[in-house]
Structure 1
Amino acid sequence: MSNHSIIRITRELADLQKTSDLSLAVACRDVDVRNVRAIIIGPPETPYEFGFFEFSIKFGRDYPAKAPTVLATTTNGGRCRFNPNIYSQGKVCFTWRGERGEEWSSAQGLESILISIQSLMSSNPYENEPGFETANDEIDKKNQKDYVAKIRHETLRISVIQRLEEYLGITPSGEVLPPVLEPEEDRGDLDPHDKELLDESTVPFEPFKDLCKRRFIWYYDSYLLAIAKAKQDVTDGQQFSRMPFECGGNVMEGRFNYTELERRLKLIRVTLDAEMNQWAVEGLSSKNKESSVAANLQRQYEQVVESYKRNKSVTLDIELVDKNPFVWALTYFGRPMTNLDGGLFRIKLCFSTRFPEEQPRAKFETALFHHRIAADGSPCYTPKRPEDVKSHIEGIIDALEEESPPYDPRTMVNPEATKLYWGSVDDKKLYNRKLRRAVQRSME
């Protein structure tokens, strides 16, 4: 691959990794930028909503003159076709490979590829099938509804539930699987560079593992709400309808079973909570071993405490729980002249011994009715610098105090509060009353 191609790909990767877009993420191994992994979070208000769809993107030596090869990998082992243009074998059909004038251009790039795929994940994916424009009979309208119904089910089952169960090492029944251990090898004759290459090839590459766990927590209530709505339209055991364009092995077959999906979702949530609690135990052990991560968090704690002592615009008390640098307790005092005025909110911030590769998880221990805070207290926020704990704290406070947020369903993690906040004038008044009641209760 030419230096021009490598520089172009590296720049595109860096630009996407710095973006604030909550729907896209990309990653590659350090030793090979030609093989990129990407994940697209299913767009809100579609049957793909908040699903985790992964793609493999391989750049040839002639990039950007020629388009890279794109393969969908979220296919349930080649058994599920998620879209007329995303096949169960992984093939993705792009518009630029069709009509004249829609061919690939070197002006396009990785981001345009992902946006093109994302555009296929519409509220009515049936319309992506060629010939849809001329099909308007009652059978076709029923097919559209049936197609949306089974995509919604399989989005939850395959892209969310199966993925999280694999990440957490649990079976659908809740059994904990033993960790996969790599065989020991004699590497005494290898130089450090060769050892790095060997590690790259043998260690599983799961760049989106932590991201999906955190997003699952954000969207957990939305998943449950989607199940509750879907149960009104289909029954457990009901078979999926086959679409006219599904043939051979390129299909989406199965049966609805939302009761089972709900049980598995709740089990994943319990397992994630247990994982976070285990971080505190691992953290104390890491502290006793004087690890570099423990020292880093202790140093950041001391710096953050001093910083907020000097900050007169925010009143925030910070302490370590049981002197454990992996568990921080924040007490935030509501800013005067806002809906939070007079409130007293305790927030726990938990860190993994793999920080910053694994990002901290925050939880409001003081109940607060807010569209950016899930019913269980998990806030939706994004830090500007993931490795900097102060940036995480600032992100939480910014999300909490945001006065006129843009409408973005990806940041709304409390469905009840969201419905009121973005509803009618009377709904917004009710939202503010519920928020103020929560603030008053925080002082009791």
Structure 2
Amino acid sequence: MATNTLRLLKELSDIQKNPDQAIYVSYNEDDITNVKALIIGPPDTPYEYGFFEFNMQFPRDYPTSPPKVNAITTNGGRTRFNPNVYAGGKVCLSILGTWRGEAGEQWSSAQGIESVLLSIQSLMSANPFENEPGFEGGGQKEKNYKKEQEQYCQKIQHETFRISILQRLEGYMRINPSTGRVNPVEDISHLSPAEREAEEQKRTHLEPFTDLCKRLFRYYYHTYMRTISKERERVRDGQHFTIMPFEYGGNQMAGKFSYHELERRMNAVKAVIDAEGETWAKQGAEAVKKDEGISASLQLQFSQTYQHFLSKYEGTVMLELIEDNPFCWRMIYIGRPMTILDGGLFRIKLILSQCFPEEQPRVIFETPIYHLNITADGVPYYRPRKTDDIKSHIEALIEVLENEQLSPDPRTWMNLDAAQLYFGKPEEQREYRKSFRRAVQRSTEY
């Protein structure tokens, strides 16, 4: 195996094991030199929780030479998301050799995939206007461009929603942006058997980041909607984007604001994703009737998982299948005595796809809970150590409930009001604990 291939395999494996930087990669083992990457927009920026895709092509002499990087999230080559990321896909970075830089900023073999993607992610700042080489922070130019800086962030925020999130998810799920309805699947009965088989395989094949983006949308939907509500008060629907001094020709971000329309489309996407879980449950029930292999496999996994938690968490965790469907699990968590969860009883539903683990479980807290890591409508942020093992998913959910030292990372905050209290002043922290305890005490009513 070539040296560059071994190096690439190790780097890709390291990133996939630890996506803490909100960077994800995908590749075909038949051509490891062609890598797809997804960068999640950093919090507290106009790119917040957007989905930005890049292609990375690695030369034969990598890591002696840097990869070629091309931005994919450009609205078909019509939208420039950053002074350093052009509408045509060019990424201007000194370490890639696509932009002049200071001494020591050029590529070296000590750098790699992660350092390139982190450098791109750093361009997604709270004030991307300052990435323009002609901008000098702290001087007269900053004062002159103050209004343009605000206008630039406003239009990036809008297009992050419209292009990086909505267009992507609507495409994945065949949602008509105008109606919010899922387009019917084209009839293929007229095709030859070979053509039908090829088309069916194409339809069941998931793009590498499809499930990831759906899960992240479920996490951040309320954050998206809060920002949309705020921005809707700042800009008028129909108002045209301001073209920046450094934008020209087709290499710009042109368009107009329409936050009411974005709100409608966000709700339509959420409705389709929510309904998808119920579709999985029905498909699972049909798979059981047909005695398909995946249903038997999940039935066995349930039996093993049930025994594991019966012995390890006796009196705390119970499992059951909903209507004897191995694609629909219910976890019942009973708060341990002498803990903040004492007296609580929480029901949590896990719905599995026939494509598990390529599609991860849809998890919902059926019992309401006031928690920093759980949305108001019951979607938890959790990270299983083994994504292909449902036992690991359940253990991660238990950890969410029992962990009293919550992370300051805003990417884990599913309830922003709860986060404000938890990390607030002492009296606010006390209010968080009171609200949490009230939810625990009421949990037995459901």
TM superposition score normalised by structure 2: 0.93
1:177 aligns with 2:183: yes
Residue matched to 1:249: 250
Residue matched to 1:318: 319
Q: From 102, 110, 128, give the equivalent of 2:105.
A: 102
C-alpha separation between the residues in 2 aligned to 1:211 and 1:106?
31
Q: 137-146 vs 431-440, which deviates more?
A: 137-146
SS for the counterpart of 1:310 is: helix
In the TM superposition, what are the counterparts of 1:187-336 in structure 2 within 5 Å?
206-312=207-313, 315-336=316-337
Residue matched to 2:43: 44
In the TM superposition, what are the counterparts of 1:324-363 in structure 2 within 5 Å?
324-363=325-364
Residue matched to 2:115: 112
SS for the counterpart of 1:56 is: strand
C-alpha separation between the residues in 2 aligned to 1:210 and 1:233?
33
Q: CA deviation at 1:225?
A: 0.6
C-alpha separation between the residues in 2 aligned to 1:377 and 1:90?
38
Q: CA deviation at 1:176?
A: 1.9
C-alpha separation between the residues in 2 aligned to 1:201 and 1:352?
18
C-alpha separation between the residues in 1 aligned to 2:373 and 2:106?
41
Change (3 A) 1:202 1:161: closer
Q: Which amino acid aligns with 2:39?
A: I
C-alpha separation between the residues in 2 aligned to 1:135 and 1:89?
32
Do the aligned residues in 2 keep the contact of 1:65 with 1:105 (CA within 8 Å)? yes
C-alpha separation between the residues in 2 aligned to 1:236 and 1:51?
21
C-alpha separation between the residues in 2 aligned to 1:160 and 1:284?
32
Q: CA deviation at 1:443?
A: 1.9
Residue matched to 2:164: 159
Q: CA deviation at 1:82?
A: 0.5
Do the aligned residues in 2 keep the contact of 1:330 with 1:346 (CA within 8 Å)? yes
Q: Which amino acid aligns with 2:131?
A: N
Q: Which amino acid aligns with 2:362?
A: R
Q: CA deviation at 1:304?
A: 1.0
C-alpha separation between the residues in 2 aligned to 1:103 and 1:272?
43
Q: Which amino acid aligns with 1:28?
A: Y
SS for the counterpart of 1:34 is: strand
Do the aligned residues in 2 keep the contact of 1:29 with 1:200 (CA within 8 Å)? no
SS for the counterpart of 1:443 is: helix
SS for the counterpart of 1:33 is: strand
SS for the counterpart of 2:327 is: strand
SS for the counterpart of 2:225 is: helix
Q: Which amino acid aligns with 1:80?
A: T
C-alpha separation between the residues in 1 aligned to 2:348 and 2:408?
26
Deviation digits for residues 123-167 of structure 1 (CA, Å, limit 9, x no counterpart):
000010002115535440001111111100100111111111111
Do the aligned residues in 1 keep the contact of 2:348 with 2:366 (CA within 8 Å)? yes
Residue matched to 1:131: 134
Change (3 A) 1:405 1:385: same
In the TM superposition, what are the counterparts of 1:138-153 in structure 2 within 5 Å?
138-153=143-158
Deviation digits for residues 205-262 of structure 1 (CA, Å, limit 9, x no counterpart):
6100000000000000000011111112111111111100000100001111111101
Q: Which amino acid aligns with 1:161?
A: L
Do the aligned residues in 2 keep the contact of 1:82 with 1:151 (CA within 8 Å)? yes
C-alpha separation between the residues in 2 aligned to 1:313 and 1:306?
10
C-alpha separation between the residues in 2 aligned to 1:432 and 1:186?
61
Q: CA deviation at 1:179?
A: 3.5
Change (3 A) 1:405 1:17: same
Q: CA deviation at 1:201?
A: 9.8
Q: CA deviation at 1:337?
A: 2.5
C-alpha separation between the residues in 2 aligned to 1:298 and 1:199?
27
Change (3 A) 1:68 1:209: same
In the TM superposition, what are the counterparts of 1:13-52 in structure 2 within 5 Å?
13-21=12-20, 23-52=22-51
Change (3 A) 1:27 1:314: farther
Q: CA deviation at 1:67?
A: 0.5
Residue matched to 2:173: 168
C-alpha separation between the residues in 2 aligned to 1:71 and 1:200?
28
Do the aligned residues in 2 keep the contact of 1:329 with 1:349 (CA within 8 Å)? yes
Change (3 A) 1:226 1:283: same
Q: Which amino acid aligns with 2:311?
A: R
Do the aligned residues in 1 keep the contact of 2:135 with 2:142 (CA within 8 Å)? no
Change (3 A) 1:63 1:202: farther
Do the aligned residues in 1 keep the contact of 2:382 with 2:397 (CA within 8 Å)? yes
C-alpha separation between the residues in 2 aligned to 1:341 and 1:94?
54
What value does the CA root-mean-square deviation take over the aligned residues?
A: 2.2
| Number of residue equivalences | 435
Q: CA deviation at 1:177?
A: 1.8
Q: CA deviation at 1:16?
A: 0.8
Deviation digits for residues 360-384 of structure 1 (CA, Å, limit 9, x no counterpart):
0110010000011011101100111
Q: Which amino acid aligns with 1:151?
A: I
SS for the counterpart of 1:303 is: helix
Q: Which amino acid aligns with 1:6?
A: T
C-alpha separation between the residues in 2 aligned to 1:6 and 1:137?
45
Q: From 120, 125, 142, give the equivalent of 1:122.
A: 125
C-alpha separation between the residues in 2 aligned to 1:401 and 1:84?
45
Residue matched to 2:70: 71
Structure 1 gap segments, 5+ residues each: 188-194
Q: CA deviation at 1:308?
A: 1.1
SS for the counterpart of 2:326 is: strand
Q: 205-214 vs 290-299, which deviates more?
A: 290-299
Residue matched to 2:422: 421
Q: CA deviation at 1:180?
A: 6.4
C-alpha separation between the residues in 2 aligned to 1:268 and 1:175?
9
